[in-house]
Amino acid sequence: MPVAALRAHASLSASGGPTPRTRRTCRGVGSPDVCGARQDRVVRTELTVDARLDLDGVLDFVRVRAIPGIEEVGERHYRRALRIDGVEVIAGVEVIPEVEVVDRPRPADDTRAASRRIVVISNTDDPVLHAEIERRVRRLFDLDAPADEIDGVLSREPALAPLVAARPGIRIPGSLDAEEMLVRAIVGQQISVVAAQGHLREIAASGSALARPDGAITRLFPTARELLAGGAELLRGPESRRATLRGAAAAIDSGGLRLTLDVPADPAGLRAQLIALRGIGPWTADYLALRIHGSPDIALPGDSAVRLGLRRLGAEQWDPAAVLRFAEAFRPWRSYLMQHLWARAAAV
């Protein structure tokens, strides 16, 4: 959602409309405040979430894909530079490990047995911009999908039940920037995560330096225009991959491709538009729907790791057609099946 639209929403909220449910918001400039933390133009908003969500799994996912200089990931926190509607910000999140047992009344439709907290952090004094960061963090951690319902559907399959029991509340790791996610997907086509990270670190050098660096965070991920100005040429490997990156960057820079974190009004149309770009096929388009928009019902039958995961579960056939047949029983939550199969494939 553009920040301008969020400002309109904020006006509605101020006049009595709904606002996101949070615990508390703290602001300070260079001194301790009521939240008990030293502040330096920092806003911290606490969200209360279901303790059963696999938030640590999302942090692990982000950690192995972090780009030095742009992102910083610790055991319990994630920070990074972002450009939102032309404004440079440092956005972050801290996952509080302590679980709070519910000992007070809850609404009838709230069946959570326990909760934990996520702290959304930004260096902006603009409440609307901070609200946009909070919205993106919710997408990154997939906070709004019904964990119990999803786990219940997946657990009906005996071969999957142990995986669900081992990682209840598995999440779809999202993205804080849609255009960046397209670049990551292109760079990561048919290579390992480690190899992709090496390429992304080189491409990242073409991004703008932050006007106000913050510790290890010193630059922004390159824009489409910066990629066209030479950043794409930093990508090692086949020329075809550089051409794909240039083509995607040109489509974004020209306005022909509009890619945002908002769920598109016409998902099939966006998918077709992506596939029409040179070097982008169905796998990449579907993977982007999963990562950018949190689409819950994506199956990736041609994905080699998905098929390996099925094979390790004892499936005798694991060709793409067999993957689709197996996945059919898990609608409308096939994306979460993909997460479990990827995890099974990666297990030693």
How many other CB atoms sit within 10 Å of the CB of residue 219? 18
Q: With a cut of 50, say whether residue 32 has pLDDT above it.
A: no
pLDDT tens-place string over residues 197-236: 999 999 999 999 999 999 999 999 999 999 999 999 999 9
* pLDDT attached to residue 49: 93
pLDDT tens-place string over residues 305-345: 999 999 999 877 788 998 999 999 999 999 999 999 999 99
pLDDT tens-place string over residues 172-200: 999 999 999 999 999 999 899 999 999 99
Task: Work out the pLDDT band at 31, boundaries 50, 70, 90.
Answer: very low
* pLDDT attached to residue 11: 38
- Structure pTM? 0.86
Q: With a cut of 70, say whether residue 107 has pLDDT above it.
A: no
Q: Does domain 177-294 have CATH number 1.10.340.30?
A: yes
Task: Work out the pLDDT band at 99, boundaries 50, 70, 90.
Answer: confident
- Domain chopping of the chain, boundaries: 22-143, 145-171+296-348, 177-294
Domain 145-171+296-348: give its CATH code: 1.10.1670.40
Domain 22-143: give its CATH code: 3.30.310.20
Mean pLDDT over each residue of the chain, to the nearest integer: 87
* pLDDT attached to residue 347: 85
